[in-house]
Amino acid sequence: MLQQAFNGLVGGAFYALLALGLAVIFGMLGVVNLSHGAFYMLGAFGAFIALDSFGLNFWLSLVLVPPLLGLAGVVLERLFVRRLTPLDPLYNFLFTFGLALILQDLVKRQYGVNSQQYPRPSQLDGTVDLGLFTYPAYQVFVLGVSALTCLAVWLVLTRSRVGMIVRAATERPELTRALGIDVGRWVTPVFGFGIALAAFAGVLAAPMRAVNPLMGSDLIITVFAVVVIGGLGSVFGSVAAGFAVGLVSALGNLYIPSLSQTLVFILMAAVLLWRPAGLFGREEAFR
């Protein structure tokens, strides 16, 4: 039971990291990034390729792959996303959908649909005694790192000048601009940062999940449900809902296994009935 809850939290860590990236991108640009899952997949493949072709170990991948993909995100924003942001947000939604299809099938063409194996880093191969039960060290590491990352992003957003600008630009872009802050300057870095977060989650996932071209596409839709539950446009809500949904679906899996995949969507339906703006969303955010 406790162990299952812990499993849920580890699963929730991935939801939280992905939902966090989605939320900051959405907040800053008003773009719902459908290719977020594809970048998560690319993060995992990036780690795989780095090991396979260049012999770079997990730790180097964890440091190198996210910034590289973040850079790709920056280029993407500069070249394409930027042209569509002034239009209806649906166009960027569709653009990133097309992009996800391309990325997914490019990887599929190169590596096939079968899962690749990625070894755990040797330092984290064993188990940790957590008092009540022993648990694989790598999973403990994933949970810790993601919680720390979410906390760090939260601190940057609430305590630093950059975070203040980003939050202001998220909530009242016109007013922020009127106060003399160049909002446009922060759009591209924030987009790249969101992508880098997805890639970071992907590298973290490589040693414990099946690395295949479709690993991101199913996950990202679940993360959409998480974002809707947490509150549209709420950074805190996305992270909290990420961990909570992971926990609830793991416990649900324990008692009603047949619902394991659908439970999150049932939760979403319940939240929509009760609070259409999500648990932590503001009413005005959606209408």
Partner 1 sequence: MILSRLARSGGRSGPLLLAIGLVAALALPWMIYPPVALDIACWALFAAAVDLLLGFTGLLSFGHAAFWGGSAYCTGLIALHSGLPFPVAIVGGAAFAALLAVPIGYLSVRLTGIYFAMVTLAFAQMVYFIANQWRDVTGGENGLQGIPRELFGVDLSEPFYFYYAGLPFVLAGLFAAWRIVRSPFGRVLVSIRDNPARTRALGYPVDRYKLLAFVLSAGLSGLAGGLFAIGHGFASLEGVYWTTSGQAVMMVILGGIGTLWGGTIGAALVVQLQDYLATAGFQETGIVTGLIFIVIVLLFRRGIWGTARHLLDVRGRAASSGDTAPEPKEAVDTPA
- Find the shortest distance in angstroms from Cβ 95 to partner 1: 5
The contact mask relative to partner 1 for 214-253 (x = CB under 8 A, - = no) is ---xx--xx-xx-xx---x---------------------
State yes or no: residue 75 binds partner 1 (CB under 8 A).
no
285 exposure class (CB count in 10 Å sphere: 0-12, 13-18, 19+): middle
Nearer to partner 1, 32 or 203 (CB): 32
Q: State the number of binding residues for partner 1 (CB under 8 A).
A: 52
Stretch that binds partner 1, among 66-74, 92-100, 137-145, 201-209 (CB under 8 A): 92-100
| Cβ proximity to partner 1, 32 vs 206, nearer residue | 32
Contacts with partner 1 in 253-272 (CB under 8 A)? 258, 261-262, 265-266, 268-269, 272
Q: How far is the CB of 275 from partner 1 (least distance, A)?
A: 10
172 belongs to the binding site for partner 1 (CB under 8 A): no
Least Cα distance to 4 among 267, 240, 253, 265 occurs for: 253
As measured in angstroms, the least distance from the Cβ of 149 to partner 1 is: 24
Regarding 104 and contact with partner 1 (CB under 8 A), the answer is: yes
Q: Select from 25-33, 66-74, 140-148, 150-158 the region that touches partner 1 (CB under 8 A).
A: 25-33
**Contact residues: partner 1, CB under 8 A:** 29-30, 32, 80, 83-91, 93-95, 97-102, 104-106, 108-109, 173, 183-184, 187, 217-218, 221-222, 224-225, 227-228, 232, 258, 261-262, 265-266, 268-269, 272-273, 276, 286-287
